[in-house]
Amino acid sequence: MADRPLIAPSILSADFARLGEEIAAVAGTGEARADWVHVDVMDAHFVPNLTLGLPVVKALLKSTDVPIDCHLMIDDPDRWAVGYAEAGAYNVTVHAEAAKDPVALAKDLRAAGAKAGLSIKPGTALEPWLEALKHYDTLLVMSVEPGFGGQSFIPDVLEKVRTARRLVDTGHLKLVVEIDGGINAETIEQAAEAGVDCFVAGSAVYGAGDPGKAVAALREQAARGRAG
């Protein structure tokens, strides 16, 4: 488990006209500094929403030294994902439901210099993907249906988190357990207690008056949840 809870603010909830400033707001020091910045790439095919793509990610990479965590909610990630790794994204996550050859894709992402992440939707079982996950650095458990921000947390997915946590703790998997969807002051402690390492938070950070303080507060709550 990560030494301390990792917080990854999601720019899906930020002001798209001020993305550079919005990322700078969570790029401070100490507990108020985000560990990763989570960027949701949606193609209006895999999910019913369209956000941004590689040109915007390249611009963001030039504007910050906070590691960029790209979550690709797109069809045909086998074709497109490596471009994000080559651009300099720290972590590139693809969906199990969309990847044609997840093991080969993980190897390609790592070869291109990024950490490789595999995401599963709330209704997708973890077990069929355990063998593939041996090749990944991150497991992103979706706690809402992917496609839109501001949805309510689905607590049933925490059973998948607990299973993944056990497999990591026993050495069967070596990866960061990440969660995305509805993470806020009301839900982060139960997610931490289940074994999450990295928490994606959108409106809980960017809906706050001071996003940096919100990052620090969420981290403190997650540490409490982890301590039980």
Query: So which residues are the catalytic ones?
Result: 40, 180
- Report whether 71 belongs to an annotated binding site: yes
- Report whether 195 belongs to an annotated binding site: no
| CA nearest to 10, candidates 198, 191, 205 | 205
- Report whether 43 belongs to an annotated binding site: no
- Report whether 95 belongs to an annotated binding site: no
C-alpha span between 85 and 37 (Å, rounded) = 15
Amino acid identity of residue 104, one-letter, is A
Cα R_g (the chain), whole angstroms: 16
C-alpha span between 119 and 117 (Å, rounded) = 7
- Report whether 28 belongs to an annotated binding site: no
Long-range contacts of 117-120 (CB under 8 A, 24+ apart): 117/69, 117/71, 117/91, 117/92, 117/93, 117/178, 118/93, 118/94, 119/71, 119/93, 119/94, 119/95, 119/146, 119/180, 120/95, 120/96, 120/160
- Report whether 88 belongs to an annotated binding site: no
C-alpha span between 201 and 183 (Å, rounded) = 5
Which residues are bridge partners to 94 per DSSP? 72, 118
CB 58 within 8 A of CB 87: yes
- Report whether 65 belongs to an annotated binding site: no
- Report whether 117 belongs to an annotated binding site: no
- Binding site residues for a divalent metal cation, as ranges? 38, 40, 71, 180
- Binding site residues, as ranges? 10, 38, 40, 71, 147-150, 180-182, 202-203
- Binding site residues for substrate, as ranges? 10, 71, 147-150, 180-182, 202-203
